[in-house]
Structure 1
Amino acid sequence: MNILHVIASCDRTEGGPVEGVFRLGDAFREMGHEQELLTLDHSDDAAVRDAPSVVHALGRKKSVSAGIASRALNWSRYSPAAVDWLREHADEYDGVIVDGLWNFSTRVARLGLQRSRTPYIVFSHGMLDPWFRSRYPLKHLAKSVLWQFNEGPLMRGAAAAAFTTERERDLAKALWRPWGITEQVVGYGTAAPPAESPSMKDAFQGRVSGLQAAPYLLFLGRIHEKKGGDILVNAFGDFWEGSDAHLVIAGPGDASFIATLRELAAKSGCAERIHWPGMLEGDEKWGALYGCDAMILPSHQENFGVVVAEALGCGRPVIISDQVNISGDVQRAQAGIICHDTRASVAEAMTRFFRLDAGAREAMGERGKRLFQTQFNIARTAEELVEILSHAKR
């Protein structure tokens, strides 16, 4: 089976579902299938050249102009060429997966697949969550219009709309009308982590000075307000005195937001205990995960959290908010500590975790590894998606 993903960008630094898409590609290839991407990146972008899957990049080159029209084009990723390409090539594929919503790639899919015989799946990746309505009410009004003429019809025409969890599906159904969508909960996950090696530890330590053998909590991912970066820093500021723990905040993010977080750390007096290595990849990332005492993610909204699954796969406990949609699975497996997405609750979770003895933390990590193996290996999701597309073609 040859599968095409339609997604806004293949650039990992932008966050979003692309990392999971690449891991799905690994799983598809192990099953004997192939995967390609149609994106709105420019063909000269470094992310296109470095992608582990074939990428058909049909986007415009970003304008450096400060004008309103140029900024709007950059933001929207408007690309009629992508629509034309999909119309021409859609029937060359056995199935299409549309990843994400609320950007021009879904318009590409809506127009490009209208007359195609190729079945498709829409994977919303948590982008129908009601949190966005309460946090960005004006954007939600615009999305409500888009739902009527693009996103809604696109999803209703799909072989299935794929959801990670029943909770994600139920929240979406309660908010968006009209519905009339064929739904399928397919789970999610990531590839099994590579075996731990000394080179991973060395690579990570080469990026972070001042840790030595100190215990540390690890935040790994896009540094964004949705991920609870401000409450994480403030909570650590409330917790750190009387502890020898450090906090590593690793990932890309808006420079002004990171500067704000650094200011919060300085005001709390814990700036020397917080490390900012930037985005970690390869051995650096795995060294950070295997070496941490726990991975922490206090998100205000998180559909899945690939890094949570990666930490569990490494046998590391997790401290996550109850707004991460897989928090119930983690809690039932006793693989971590669940908190609210508030400063006080996150600080209390840190305290609870470090009061556990080494044996209790190790047992928590082992339970997490079993949870990963049974529920969060991406191969299970890949099998579900292939089955949906295969059934739709019959």
Structure 2
Amino acid sequence: MKVLHVIPSISPIMGGPPQVALNLVWALRNLGVEAEIATTNFNGSEPMDVPLNQRVKYPIAPNEKASVPVWFLPFRPPALKEFIFSPALAGWLWQHIQDYDVLDNHYLFSFAPTCAAAIARFKHVPYTVRTMGQLTPWALKQSRLKKQIYTALIERHNLNQAAAIHCTTPAEAEDIRHFGLQTPTITLPLGVTPPTLLDNAATRLRQQYNIATDVPIILFLSRIHYKKRPDLLLKSLAQLNQQGHRFHLIMAGSGEPDYLTELQTMVVALGIAQQVTFPGMVTGVAKDLLLQGSDLFVLPSYSENFGIAVAEAMISGLPVVITPGVQIAPEIAAAQAGLVVEGEWMLLAGAIAQLLTSPQLRQTMGENGRRLAKSRYSWTAIAKNLIPAYAAISLQSSSPSIKTTFE
């Protein structure tokens, strides 16, 4: 069976979705599925330095030997991050889409998956869609008019004609039904890769950032975007600082320069400049060091359909503080792997303070989180569950009587 994953870009600046595509294709290939990726070379202001118009082996993570086959097609600048127009990708799909049994489209409201779905229908190739949390009430309110027009003209038809819609949580499946869609759904979580264990990570991290051994390290590791509410975290920490709590926040990730400047200015105004570090985007060993050397992880996001960064924190043994907008929050609460609080600065500050003052609670929740992530968020297990769905969808293209309902 041949499966093509279509995604607008796999650049790290796109956050978690590229990791999903790369790791899932890698897991599928390990199980005998001929899975590949078609994408563009979009990378923000400068294109990715990759070979174009050919099948290349691309590493699933920096400094990793494991790789997956990717077709990079050039985008046409200037490109909006949300859309990323690529006539070259459209031409490639028109020529090659029938080489595959199933398409797995990532994202909504973007050229690549929109174009792939239209061509797939014309060429009679079944396709699935990953909505990536873009049908949550919060997400639909962002650029609302544009999304309403795009939905009316294109996206609703794409979703209605899909063989199935991928969901990562039951809450995401509910969002799809609330959007008025009756398309079958496949509900499977995303996966997370266990990190390479580092010796003396806590000591090494403190030495690198000049942090005292008795100061707890709080980690924010994500794309720095207002959706993730880093401003709320900073306001909460300013309150804790006034109350005499000791901490050091490492706010790691990339973001728009203007927004980063705004946050750095806020840190100074709040009087916590000495307790906050902005290292930028971190990958590979540097990322593993942050995850293994910190004491707790915080992500007070408005909306996350899954939250790869949260799962990475848990499998690294970090207790997490999150908001209900992270849709795996019920699983985390049930496993006692962290604290789930509403997105208000007083509640967030209280939850962080609870963990700052109790090393034992941090350890217990961290161990609970590691067990949850290992048992629930395995890429291999997810791929094994996905293969029968692909097979049924592929058969459905020639046998309409076969039903593809996965919940």
Q: Answer whether TM exceeds 0.5 for this pair.
A: yes
Alpha-carbon distance between aligned partners in 2 of 1:379 and 1:149, rounded to the nearest angstrom: 37
Q: Which 10-residue stretch deviates more, 5-14 or 239-248?
A: 239-248
Q: TM-score, length-normalised on structure 2?
A: 0.86
Q: TM-score, length-normalised on structure 1?
A: 0.89
User: Does the residue aligned with 2:32 lie in a helix, a strand or coil?
Assistant: coil
The answer (yes or no) to whether the contact 1:10–1:51 under 8 Å persists in 2 is: no
Alpha-carbon distance between aligned partners in 2 of 1:119 and 1:368, rounded to the nearest angstrom: 37
Unaligned runs of 5+ in 2: 52-57, 61-67, 396-407
User: Does the residue aligned with 1:352 lie in a helix, a strand or coil?
Assistant: helix
User: Does the residue aligned with 2:224 lie in a helix, a strand or coil?
Assistant: coil
**Could you tell me which residue of structure 2 aligns to residue 385 of structure 1?**
386
**Could you tell me which residue of structure 2 aligns to residue 82 of structure 1?**
89
Alpha-carbon distance between aligned partners in 1 of 2:281 and 2:357, rounded to the nearest angstrom: 30
Alpha-carbon distance between aligned partners in 1 of 2:325 and 2:203, rounded to the nearest angstrom: 34
The answer (yes or no) to whether the contact 1:10–1:48 under 8 Å persists in 2 is: no
User: Does the residue aligned with 1:240 lie in a helix, a strand or coil?
Assistant: helix
- The count of aligned residue pairs is 378
User: Does the residue aligned with 2:186 lie in a helix, a strand or coil?
Assistant: strand
Residues 1:205 and 1:95: Cα distance change in structure 2 (over 3 Å) = farther
> Cα deviation per residue 1:135-191 (whole Å; 9 max; x = unaligned)?
x3xx222212222332222222222101111111112321x24x2311121222222
Alpha-carbon distance between aligned partners in 2 of 1:269 and 1:183, rounded to the nearest angstrom: 48
Alpha-carbon distance between aligned partners in 2 of 1:245 and 1:234, rounded to the nearest angstrom: 14
State how 1:89-108 maps to structure 2 within 5 Å.
89-108=96-115
The answer (yes or no) to whether the contact 2:160–2:183 under 8 Å persists in 1 is: yes
The answer (yes or no) to whether the contact 1:120–1:389 under 8 Å persists in 2 is: no
**Could you tell me which residue of structure 2 aligns to residue 112 of structure 1?**
119
**Could you tell me which residue of structure 2 aligns to residue 156 of structure 1?**
160
State how 1:271-350 maps to structure 2 within 5 Å.
271-350=273-352
> For residue 257 of structure 1, what is the amino acid of its counterpart?
Y
Alpha-carbon distance between aligned partners in 2 of 1:142 and 1:87, rounded to the nearest angstrom: 27
State how 1:249-288 maps to structure 2 within 5 Å.
249-288=251-290
The answer (yes or no) to whether the contact 1:3–1:94 under 8 Å persists in 2 is: yes
Alpha-carbon distance between aligned partners in 1 of 2:270 and 2:129, rounded to the nearest angstrom: 44
State how 1:199-238 maps to structure 2 within 5 Å.
208-213=208-213, 214-238=215-239
> For residue 328 of structure 2, what is the amino acid of its counterpart?
I
State how 1:164-183 maps to structure 2 within 5 Å.
164-174=168-178, 176-177=179-180, 179-183=181-185
RMSD over aligned Cα, in angstroms?
2.3
Alpha-carbon deviation of 1:122? 0.5
User: Does the residue aligned with 1:96 lie in a helix, a strand or coil?
Assistant: strand
Alpha-carbon deviation of 1:273? 0.4
> For residue 229 of structure 2, what is the amino acid of its counterpart?
G
**Could you tell me which residue of structure 1 aligns to residue 75 of structure 2?**
60
Alpha-carbon distance between aligned partners in 2 of 1:75 and 1:173, rounded to the nearest angstrom: 24
**Could you tell me which residue of structure 1 aligns to residue 29 of structure 2?**
29
Residues 1:92 and 1:202: Cα distance change in structure 2 (over 3 Å) = farther
> For residue 169 of structure 1, what is the amino acid of its counterpart?
A
> For residue 250 of structure 1, what is the amino acid of its counterpart?
A
**Could you tell me which residue of structure 2 aligns to residue 68 of structure 1?**
none
User: Does the residue aligned with 2:301 lie in a helix, a strand or coil?
Assistant: coil
User: Does the residue aligned with 2:209 lie in a helix, a strand or coil?
Assistant: coil
The answer (yes or no) to whether the contact 1:159–1:388 under 8 Å persists in 2 is: no
Alpha-carbon distance between aligned partners in 2 of 1:143 and 1:345, rounded to the nearest angstrom: 33
> For residue 238 of structure 2, what is the amino acid of its counterpart?
G
Alpha-carbon distance between aligned partners in 1 of 2:3 and 2:276, rounded to the nearest angstrom: 42
Unaligned runs of 5+ in 1: 64-70
